[in-house]
Chains A and B, each alone.
Chain A
Amino acid sequence: MKSALASQSNATADSGRIAARFASLKARQQSGLVTFITAGDPDLEICTKLLAGLPKAGADIIELGMPFSDPMADGPSIQSANLRAFKAGVKLSKVLDLVRGFRERDKDTPLVLMGYYNPVYVYGVEKFVRDAKGVGVDGIIIVDTPPEEDAEICQPSLNQGLNFIRLITPTTDAKRLPAVLHNASGFLYYVSITGTTGSKSAGAEPVRAALAELRRHTSLPIAVGFGITTPDQAKTMAQTSDAVVVGSAIVNRIASNLDGQGHAKVGLVEDVLGFVESLAKAAHNR
């Protein structure tokens, strides 16, 4: 009983990493940078180095993709990253190992797992949220479970003290918004386009208007993502948001540092982290 209570109090303390990060960004009047990479891309060793280097390069929140055979919401870049991760032998248990390794050295940077429901369902939902919490995950994004299915993975995540981060899209209308916001926590992920990751870019004005409307209904921080590929775009989106998410562009940067066999060329880690640094500067100095 005692140990259960102890771990519970830990849970409460840990779940504050996302909130703490947004609070400190706010205090500095900065927008944050959320970086996405796929776990095990291009292999476990390089991915470990990338993860370790991201906070220093300026990533405020790390989103780590859980590879899936059928990533329906993702464009070609992240689809390819998934295939590279499979080639490197990544399974859900290895994703959790990566987080454990990261968390041993970094106690402050929030880390969010992002993926599709089936691998989690097969792993076992209760076991997954417990193990994720145990290795130091702060939040979960599952792109293919709508609020209608909150009992599946959202509620168990919240019960475990994990944030459950919701995606809001331009097609989320006023009627549906309350249902989407109901169990949302940590931050909101505003998908700035209708489409898959990295497929196109949104204009600043529609996003500004959408965020203004959203803020009437929620006090959660809002991160804007999908289609932000350059520091300039990051800077523009940062002006209206609490954070910008960059995924496909970072993944493309990884891919451009691979040789014909898909092996990392010398300097991959430095080049990718250098790119992240330029994005972070743009987001922070909006």
Chain B
Amino acid sequence: MPLVLAVEKAYNEAKADPKFQEELDYYLKHYVGRPSPLFYAQRLTEKLGGAKIYFKRDELNHTGAHKINHCMGQILLAKRMGKTRIIAETGAGQHGVATATVAALFNLPCVVYMGEVDIERQKPNVFRMKLLGAEVRPVTSGSRSLKDAMNGALRDWVGNVEDTFYIIGTVGGPHPYPAMVRDFQSIIGREVRQQILEAEKRLPDSLVACVGGGSNAMGLFYDFLDEPNITMHAVEAAGHGIDTGLHAAALTGGTAGILHGMRSYFLQDDDGQIQEAHSISAGLDYPGVGPEHAWLKETKRVNYVSATDEEALAAFQSCSKLEGIIPALEPSHALAFVMKIAPSLPKTHLMVVNICGRGDKDIFTVAEKLGVKL
């Protein structure tokens, strides 16, 4: 506890310090490449024949996903706290790569915990992390995937409290992480507000994002939560289908529980044992979800839906061919939902979908699914 209390205190001080924000803005602009464009997806819009669809292009960030937004914020906080060692957990490897990247930038040693199973299916990202100078530590316990990587990182942290900062990869974990990661990601929504006002002279009618732990969705939604006329859809990974039990949709198919220092929804059995999540997308393959999403579900502010592996795979291919953008499998879930609802909406309906990562990392998985030998 003293550990997370110290992070909370330092974060509150940093938030109130204009110099911290200035430094963060500098790196977001010149290193990450923000603002990311808001792009009118004309061919997809015409093909679906309904809502006018905009892509928030966070896949163009340095390292290829939105994860770098909160990594930059957290490592600047780590530096501010005088920490000299960085740890992180990763599933798909995107958060691990982003963490290894900022650790390299600031010359801090970095250990990334990754489940053995994920190491096997995300080899390119494992190599990337190593190139960036990070040590990838395999986690062999439990289901050997993301939740176990988080257990591994937490175990490391309690053993190295003096010098180590834990960069968490989603809006989950103990307070203040869910709020802090949300704040660092909320730049996505703030940019969208400005960009859509410029392009359309008004705010969007709906927002769509995928949800695993929920960081990119919180990033897009947060700035608009108090706009009652904006509908928000968050798309979970339904894997083989919710009714098969093989999915990663904690909000749609899970129950209330407590894990990793938060009370939220989890995939678990009737004995309170956490179950493995299943998704074609390793980044959504987490059996829980950030606690603020649980709240947004209960208050019905956000509409939580899901898309299966197959639907995501189809959307992945359509988007590549229609827009020349190969999306990651994670936002392909959001796109699958867009394809479902956009045709029934009027052409005046403005919809923004967060393309939170690019699909380069997924080409091996997709090739295998499509029966293509590389």
Query: Measuring CB to CB, which residues of chain A are less than 8 angstroms from any residue of chain B?
Result: 67-73, 75-76, 79, 86, 91-92, 117-123, 144, 146, 148, 171-173, 176, 193-196, 199-200
Q: Does B345 contact A (CB under 8 A)?
A: no
Check A195–B159 contact: CB distance below 8 A. Answer: yes
Q: Does B272 contact A (CB under 8 A)?
A: yes
Nearest CB in chain B to that of A91: its residue: B271
Nearest CB in chain A to that of B274: its residue: A69
Q: Does B94 contact A (CB under 8 A)?
A: no
Given contacts A121-B256, A122-B270, A196-B155, 4 further A-B contacts (CB under 8 A): A68-B272, A70-B274, A148-B1, A196-B158
Check A86–B273 contact: CB distance below 8 A. Answer: yes
B81 nearest CB across to chain A (Å): 15
- A residues less than 8 Å from B275 (CB atoms): 69
B117 nearest CB across to chain A (Å): 15
Within 8 A of A (CB), among B157-184: 158-161
Check A117–B148 contact: CB distance below 8 A. Answer: no
Check B271–A79 contact: CB distance below 8 A. Answer: no
Known: A70-B151, A72-B151. A195 touches B158 (CB 8 A): yes
- A residues less than 8 Å from B270 (CB atoms): 122
Check A144–B261 contact: CB distance below 8 A. Answer: yes
Check A120–B142 contact: CB distance below 8 A. Answer: no
Check A92–B2 contact: CB distance below 8 A. Answer: no
Check B258–A121 contact: CB distance below 8 A. Answer: yes
Sample 13 A-B pairs with CB under 8 A, ordered by A number.
A70-B142, A70-B148, A70-B151, A72-B151, A118-B268, A118-B274, A122-B255, A123-B271, A123-B272, A148-B1, A173-B2, A194-B159, A196-B155
Known: A117-B258, A118-B268. A70 touches B158 (CB 8 A): no
Q: Does B66 contact A (CB under 8 A)?
A: no
Q: Does B138 contact A (CB under 8 A)?
A: no
Q: Contact partner of A194 among B158, B261, B266, B268, CB < 8 A?
A: B158
- With the chains together, A73 CA to B157 CA distance in Å? 11
Check B158–A176 contact: CB distance below 8 A. Answer: no
- A residues less than 8 Å from B151 (CB atoms): 70-72
Check A118–B257 contact: CB distance below 8 A. Answer: yes
Check A171–B3 contact: CB distance below 8 A. Answer: yes
Interface of B is mostly: mixed
Nearest CB in chain A to that of B141: its residue: A79
Interface of A is mostly: loop
B91 nearest CB across to chain A (Å): 15
A251 nearest CB across to chain B (Å): 14
A80 nearest CB across to chain B (Å): 8
- With the chains together, A199 CA to B160 CA distance in Å? 12
Q: Does B259 contact A (CB under 8 A)?
A: yes
Check A118–B2 contact: CB distance below 8 A. Answer: no
Within 8 A of A (CB), among B256-295: 256-261, 266, 268, 270-275
- A residues less than 8 Å from B274 (CB atoms): 69-70, 118
Check B142–A92 contact: CB distance below 8 A. Answer: no
- With the chains together, A123 CA to B142 CA distance in Å? 21
Check A122–B271 contact: CB distance below 8 A. Answer: yes
Within 8 A of A (CB), among B97-121: none
Nearest CB in chain B to that of A200: its residue: B159
- B residues less than 8 Å from A193 (CB atoms): 159
- B residues less than 8 Å from A171 (CB atoms): 2-3, 161
- A residues less than 8 Å from B75 (CB atoms): none
- A residues less than 8 Å from B95 (CB atoms): none
Q: Does B361 contact A (CB under 8 A)?
A: no
- With the chains together, A89 CA to B155 CA distance in Å? 26
- B residues less than 8 Å from A176 (CB atoms): 1-2
- B residues less than 8 Å from A172 (CB atoms): 2
Known: A118-B257, A121-B257. A73 touches B158 (CB 8 A): yes
- With the chains together, A144 CA to B3 CA distance in Å? 14
Interface centre among B3, B148, B158, B274 (most CB of A within 10 A): B158
- A residues less than 8 Å from B67 (CB atoms): none
Nearest CB in chain A to that of B263: its residue: A121
Nearest CB in chain B to that of A193: its residue: B159
Nearest CB in chain B to that of A90: its residue: B271
Check A76–B268 contact: CB distance below 8 A. Answer: no
The 7 A-B residue pairs with the shortest CB-CB distance, nearest first, are A122-B272, A195-B159, A119-B272, A69-B273, A91-B271, A69-B274, A118-B272
Q: Does B57 contact A (CB under 8 A)?
A: no
Q: Does B147 contact A (CB under 8 A)?
A: yes
Check A72–B2 contact: CB distance below 8 A. Answer: no
- With the chains together, A71 CA to B142 CA distance in Å? 9
Nearest CB in chain A to that of B152: its residue: A72
- A residues less than 8 Å from B258 (CB atoms): 117-118, 121, 144
Q: Does B353 contact A (CB under 8 A)?
A: no
Q: Contact partner of B154 among A72, A119, A146, CB < 8 A?
A: A72
- With the chains together, A193 CA to B155 CA distance in Å? 13
Nearest CB in chain B to that of A148: its residue: B1
Q: Contact partner of B161 among A69, A75, A194, CB < 8 A?
A: A194
B63 nearest CB across to chain A (Å): 28
- With the chains together, A118 CA to B262 CA distance in Å? 10
- With the chains together, A119 CA to B142 CA distance in Å? 16
Interface centre among A70, A122, A144 (most CB of B within 10 A): A70
Q: Contact partner of A92 among B3, B155, B266, B272, CB < 8 A?
A: B272
Known: A70-B274, A79-B141, A121-B272. A196 touches B261 (CB 8 A): no
A249 nearest CB across to chain B (Å): 18
- With the chains together, A173 CA to B162 CA distance in Å? 13
